[in-house]
Chains A and B, each alone.
Chain A
Amino acid sequence: MYNAGKIIIGIIIFVGLVTFPFIFAGGKATAKPDPKIDTPEILKMPENERKCVESKSFMKKEHMQLLNDWRDWVVRDGNTIYTNAEGKTFNMSLQNTCMKCHSNKKKFCDECHNYTAVKPYCWDCHIAPKEKES
């Protein structure tokens, strides 16, 4: 092999970069997020009425799109009433509608957002609910 020193240094750098995530994790399993929906407001409701504005699967996939639409409809179009797939109406408000039930931002929103490094800019303008440090 010619220029063995330089070639080997190059290969070591390459292997280091490519295997970095494996080394960083160190083979230790990481905790997966466990969002909680056990706020007092939700627990007060009867079991069969514990529903979000849309179905759970829709909310899981599309909540960011829905919130974005809500903002545009309220702030830009002045339309404040949302009618869901079942015909029920809601006041389009993050702080008054969403956070009324989901008052546990840390255990509900942040749990998954932190895990996947998503930084929504909701709280640049809105006031996050006060929570007791646990």
Chain B
Amino acid sequence: MGLIFSFFTVVALGVIVFIGVKAADMRYLFGVIIPYAAFFAFLIGIIYRILQWARVPVPFRIPTTAGQGKSFPWIKQNTIDNPFTSIGVIIRMTLEVLLFRSLFRNTRAELRDGPKLSYGSTKWLWLGGLAFHYAFLIILIRHLRFFLEPVPLPIEIVEALDGFFQVGAPVLYITNLIFLGAVTFLFLRRVVIPQVRYISLAADYFPLFLIGAIGVTGVLMRYFLKTDVVGIKELTMGLITFSPVIPQTIGTIFYIHLFLVSALFAYFPMSKLMHMAGVFLSPTRNLANNNRAVMHVNPWNYPVKAHTYDEYEDEFRNVMKEAGLPVEKE
């Protein structure tokens, strides 16, 4: 259900632009107004979500302890997987964000004859996820050639490396293959594995289809349908410098690509894609395991009226003495 709904939603998004540009000539709407609106929705939406999260009190520290914690001096501590200090936490977070180490620990449970339950390591999700995210990052960096003038050298270097094999003209980018392959893998994984399919919702399929469609339209535009790249850069630079222009030479495929990207940007803050910011705020990762060393004061504690033993004894000393009870002060 979620799968079909998501698929046709993405198809509908494409058809809307096709009709809008071909029949109604709404180039200004799809080329200027919607991209600006989507960009601001993205920016404001993400900041709003982060501020909402920041308002939630930090709980008692609950870091996952994936290694030996700090103990006696002769027991070797795993300073990264069970960090005690902020530096350890920073290293753990950096590795988590850049290399997805918790996905690397992914295991699979299988029920075999016997009946026996067996667990095995499974790295495919980690590999697919890593390939997907890094290909996406490089594609994003490459696209900066449309948003910066003059194009800085680092971007040209990234582009040259991506087209290293010099296949065909325009040169084939390696990341385009990896990206489409990884998106396809992540989608098939949801459909083929019954347990994953059972927990997959429209909110899981929709971003996959949307990102896949962005990839496909991009590839179509670059290698097959081809459109006026110089015109596209005029349009993007117009947006960047707040003096929008709409060159008439740009093909419809570009507007479909741009609209799908706008949809992704606008959808981002209200979707699971917010894990981009959320990964930095995961309490099981970003807290040091120093529960026994550092006093945790519950943030929502109200002041408790306490009556200490000293005060108690002061109050009842005479009575206690009469009853023959020991007192600390005479």
A: number of interface residues (CB 8 Å): 37
Judge whether A40 is part of the interface by a CB distance below 8 angstroms: no
Judge whether A10 is part of the interface by a CB distance below 8 angstroms: yes
Complex: A35 Cα to B241 Cα, angstroms: 23
List residues of A (5-51) whose CB comes within 8 Å of B's CBs: 7, 10-11, 14-15, 18-19, 21-22, 24-25, 27-30, 32-33
**Closest B residue, CB atoms, query A26:** B241
- Known contacts A22-B240, A32-B234, A62-B226; A1/B54 CB under 8 A: yes
Smallest beta-carbon distance B266→chain A, Å: 14
Contact A25 B169 (CB under 8 A): no
Residues in B neighbouring A22, C-beta threshold 8 A? 240
- Known contacts A24-B148, A68-B168; A3/B230 CB under 8 A: no
Contact mask B40-67 → A, CB, 8 Å, 1/0? 0011001100110011111000000000
Judge whether A2 is part of the interface by a CB distance below 8 angstroms: yes
**Closest A residue, CB atoms, query B230:** A112
Contact B230 A25 (CB under 8 A): no
Complex: A118 Cα to B54 Cα, angstroms: 44
Judge whether A85 is part of the interface by a CB distance below 8 angstroms: no
Judge whether B233 is part of the interface by a CB distance below 8 angstroms: yes
Residues in B neighbouring A115, C-beta threshold 8 A? 149, 230, 233
Contact B169 A7 (CB under 8 A): no
Smallest beta-carbon distance A20→chain B, Å: 8
Contact A120 B169 (CB under 8 A): yes
Contact B54 A117 (CB under 8 A): no
Contact B241 A117 (CB under 8 A): no
Contact B47 A7 (CB under 8 A): no
Complex: A19 Cα to B226 Cα, angstroms: 29
Complex: A24 Cα to B277 Cα, angstroms: 24
Contact B50 A11 (CB under 8 A): yes
Judge whether B11 is part of the interface by a CB distance below 8 angstroms: no
Residues in A neighbouring B155, C-beta threshold 8 A? 117
Interchain CB contact (< 8 A) of A119 among B47, B58, B160, B277: B160
Complex: A131 Cα to B51 Cα, angstroms: 58
Complex: A60 Cα to B231 Cα, angstroms: 12
A residues touching B (Cβ–Cβ < 8 Å)?
1-4, 7, 10-11, 14-15, 18-19, 21-22, 24-25, 27-30, 32-33, 60-62, 64-65, 67-68, 112, 114-121
B residues touching A (Cβ–Cβ < 8 Å)?
42-43, 46-47, 50-51, 54-58, 144-151, 155-156, 159-160, 166, 168-170, 226-230, 233-234, 237, 240-243, 277, 280, 299
Other A-B pairs, 11, CB within 8 Å; known A2-B56, A10-B277, A14-B46: A3-B58, A4-B54, A11-B50, A21-B144, A22-B240, A30-B241, A32-B234, A62-B226, A117-B145, A118-B229, A119-B156
